[in-house]
Amino acid sequence: MSESPAPAVLTLRPEWTALEDHRADALPRPSLRRLFAEDPGRAERYTARVGDLYVDYSKHLVTDETLALLRELAVATGVFELRDAMFRGERINTTEDRAVLHTALRAPRGAVVEVDGENVVPGVHAVLDRMAAFAQRVRSGEWTGHTGRRVRNVVNIGIGGSDLGPAMAYEALRAYGDRSLVFRFVSNVDGADLYEATRDLDPAETLFIVASKTFTTVETLTNAASARDWLVDALGDEAAVARHFVAVSTNAEKVAAFGIDTANMFEFWDWVGGRYSFDSAIGLSLMAAIGPDRFREMLDGFHLVDEHFRTAPAESNVPLLMGLLGVWYGDFLGAQSHAVLPYSHYLSRFPAYLQQLDMESNGKSVDRDGQEVGWQTGPVVWGTPGTNGQHAYYQLIHQGTKLIPADFIGFARPVRGLGGRLGAQHDLLMANFFAQTQALAFGKTPDEVREEGVPEELVPHKSFRGDHPTTTILAPELTPSVLGQLVALYEHKVFVQGAVWNIDSFDQWGVELGKILARRVEPALSKGAHVPGLDPSTAALVAAYRDIGK
């Protein structure tokens, strides 16, 4: 990789200690009421635009000085050099010795992005074209099942990045989907997931998309094998598999071994991380739902934000800003979690999607050199659609003891097709959206509560401290392009944080141990086999499981 600043322990860097000193000056917390009073232009100045996204960060516990110091930290930690190395296709995923090129998945035809001297963009578009042809055949009814009936049901079988992305995006873009087709997503190895997804489907009209980067993931292969049994039992012919199963993978050999014709395999590449993959062939189910044109609009949305991240100056670079704000809260103000609160029912799976994106990427405790980090890395990411959260956990955000920075995502118009009385509910939804960030930021002082005639003993209970930081992201409408823009925004935010923390955001070794142990324990559960080396607690639990289940 090309010249990056000399490595140094992050917390010893002068840019880090400058932020610590700055924090000490500002403690206990800068008051948002005071910050707005001192700077009448704050509301306008602390906004940024990227594509269709209007981003307001005025309700953050920061000043111009905080932001300048954070940008200096980004420069010192080599964020920009690492960003450029990523876009150039260098092997910045060092522990897996891989390039990190999800940005190439949405590069326009004709762009040049090289990995080991080979331009990968033509290959990306060749797969997109094959996906489009296939998706059209499914959508038009031309792709028929073994008995000659058209496909009406599409079931995606995958897990992690091979499920969360397409499932989230399918939900988000339901209004753009072909409503005459049924789409289901199966991920859990709990047989109930596949059972519930298929129990009311006609096998003769059902297509399974087995999505797995490695094609070795036990959950996916187990579900795919069960789905194959379900199909073959119903249609009475092994040959039916060819018309009812397609695969999305990097591993043609394993796809063939499973029995899926590799002519019906859609490939992607090892430089696409699982959690960064739904804009690759992993999005095949989504493309079948919304059609190739809409899928390409989504890719254009991704690309727009990629270009912004790659070229915008630091002062107006939105993913940089969002990443640095997270560093400020996690490393300097002690926040442990980050809430993502979409005010759109269609984005109900967005927080779950972001959990993998962020927590699998930045849930690390050793740096790129294998040294234990002495600073906070990725936060716990959580959330649900906003109005439902208001009647559940917002109480804790407003009046609890924890600092929880939150992103509020809302839209100026309801999603297309939602008209009449239901569409008119949108203003009420958004009134809640604005009211919540206002209450979180400015609270309600004891004096304001007293002015309402509240008895003194209730004043502490009815007072709100405020100063709860939020980012407000507003877009005109939830379209395919806007969804792409949002996802790319978070991808690059996560990137910025990993770069500052000097961790490899693109590996996921932490999920391996559990997988290996599950394989060892399984024979003890199914056959009562002795598992050597099982710890006493787990051995006792395994015995109880067998006993209770008799």
Burial label for 346, CB within 10 Å (0-12, 13-18, 19+), is buried
Task: Pick from 77, 153, 156, 220 the residue near ligand F6P by CB under 6 A.
Answer: 220
CB of 508 to ligand F6P, least distance (A): 5
Separation of CA 164 from chain center: 8
Task: Pick from 167, 508, 521, 524 the residue near ligand F6P by CB under 6 A.
Answer: 508
Pick out residues in 341-360 that bind ligand F6P (CB under 6 A).
360
Start-to-end CA distance of the chain, whole Å, equals 59
Which candidate in 3, 44, 391, 456 is catalytic?
391
Is 264 a residue that touches ligand F6P (CB under 6 A)?
no
CA distance 172 to 163: 14
Is residue 189 within 8 A of residue 264, CB to CB? The reply is no
Is residue 246 within 8 A of residue 207, CB to CB? The reply is yes
CA distance 80 to 274: 24
Residue whose entry in the numeric block shows the structure tokens 């897996």: 96
Is 518 a residue that touches ligand F6P (CB under 6 A)?
no
Is 161 a residue that touches ligand F6P (CB under 6 A)?
yes
Is residue 545 within 8 A of residue 525, CB to CB? The reply is yes
Is 217 a residue that touches ligand F6P (CB under 6 A)?
yes
- Select from 438, 433, 430, 427 the least CA-distant residue to 398: 438
Is 212 a residue that touches ligand F6P (CB under 6 A)?
yes
Task: Pick from 71, 146, 275, 492 the residue near ligand F6P by CB under 6 A.
Answer: 275
CB of 254 to ligand F6P, least distance (A): 10
Token pair belonging to 90: 């260098």
- By beta-carbon proximity to ligand F6P, the closer residue of 257 and 511 is 511
Is 162 a residue that touches ligand F6P (CB under 6 A)?
yes
CB of 349 to ligand F6P, least distance (A): 15
Please provide the DSSP assignment of 106-168 as one string.
GPPTT---EETTEE-HHHHHHHHHHHHHHHHHHHHT-SB-TTSPBP-EEEEE--GGGTHHHHH
Which segment (209-217, 309-317, 337-345, 479-487) binds ligand F6P by CB under 6 A? 209-217
Is 468 among the residues known to form the active site? no
Token pair belonging to 252: 């043609």
Is 522 among the residues known to form the active site? no
Which segment (157-165, 395-403, 411-419, 479-487) binds ligand F6P by CB under 6 A? 157-165
Is 381 a residue that touches ligand F6P (CB under 6 A)?
no
Is 391 among the residues known to form the active site? yes
Task: Pick from 43, 428, 431, 511 the residue near ligand F6P by CB under 6 A.
Answer: 511
Task: Pick from 4, 47, 214, 264 the residue near ligand F6P by CB under 6 A.
Answer: 214
Integer angstrom CA distances of residue 102 from 48, 418, 512: 24, 33, 23
Which chain residues interact with ligand F6P by CB under 6 A? 159-162, 212-214, 217, 220, 274-275, 360, 508, 511
Active site residues: 360, 391, 515
